[in-house]
Structures are given as structure tokens and as C-alpha cells.
């Protein structure tokens, strides 16, 4: 295993732990503006419609994927700067 890959493993784990928290905070702010409510609907929330529930789930998934990709990419770039090679 290459040095860059070994170095990236702990960096990836640490960044992965932070990803969920960051994505959750971003989604909360986006939902306040889009949904007009401080709390996003749960799939089992009887008082919310299908459209609202599915919109919230779609936004949450897209935001999580975007934050995860940005964090993973940033970690890989940092490892390349330290080791000189890209972690595969």
C-alpha cells in the first residue's frame, strides 16, 4: 500500500465523522428557507404531505453528497500536498 493511501485512511475517517454534522447544519439552514419551517418533516410525519417529505429527503441527500464529496476531495488534496502522490 502506498504511503499516501495509508496517510489518507485516518484523515478520511476523521473527515467522515465531521461530514455528517456539517451536512446536517447546512441542510437545517436550507430547509428553514425552502420549507419555511425550523424542522424538516420526517417520512412518518402524518401531518406533512408527500411532496414536502420527498422534497426534504431529496435536498438532504443532495446536500450530504455534496458536502461529502467536498470533504473527501479536500482530504485527498491535503494528502497529495504532504506526500506528493494522490491517494487512490
pLDDT of 17-50, one tens digit each?
789 889 999 999 999 999 888 899 999 999 999 9
Helix, coil or strand: residue 9: helix
Binned at pLDDT 50, 70 and 90, residue 1 comes out as low
Neighbours of 30 (CB within 10 A): 16
Helix, strand, coil shares of the chain, percent, nearest 5, are 75, 0, 25
Full-prediction pTM beyond 0.85? no
Length of the chain, in residues: 88
Closest CA to 58 of 29, 36, 27, 32: 27
Q: Is the pLDDT of residue 51 over 80?
A: yes
Q: Is the pLDDT of residue 86 over 70?
A: yes
Spans of all domains in the chain: 3-42+49-83
Return the percentage of the chain with pLDDT > 70, whole number: 93
Return the percentage of the chain with pLDDT > 90, whole number: 47
Amino acid at each position: 500500500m502506498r504511503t499516501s493511501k495509508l496517510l489518507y485512511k485516518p484523515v478520511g475517517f476523521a473527515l467522515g465523522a465531521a461530514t455528517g454534522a456539517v451536512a446536517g447544519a447546512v441542510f437545517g439552514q436550507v430547509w428553514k428557507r425552502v420549507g419555511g419551517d425550523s424542522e424538516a418533516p420526517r417520512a412518518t410525519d402524518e401531518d406533512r404531505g408527500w411532496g414536502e417529505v420527498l422534497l426534504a429527503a431529496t435536498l438532504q441527500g443532495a446536500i450530504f453528497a455534496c458536502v461529502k464529496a467536498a470533504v473527501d476531495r479536500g482530504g485527498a488534496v491535503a494528502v497529495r500536498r504532504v506526500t506528493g502522490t494522490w491517494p487512490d
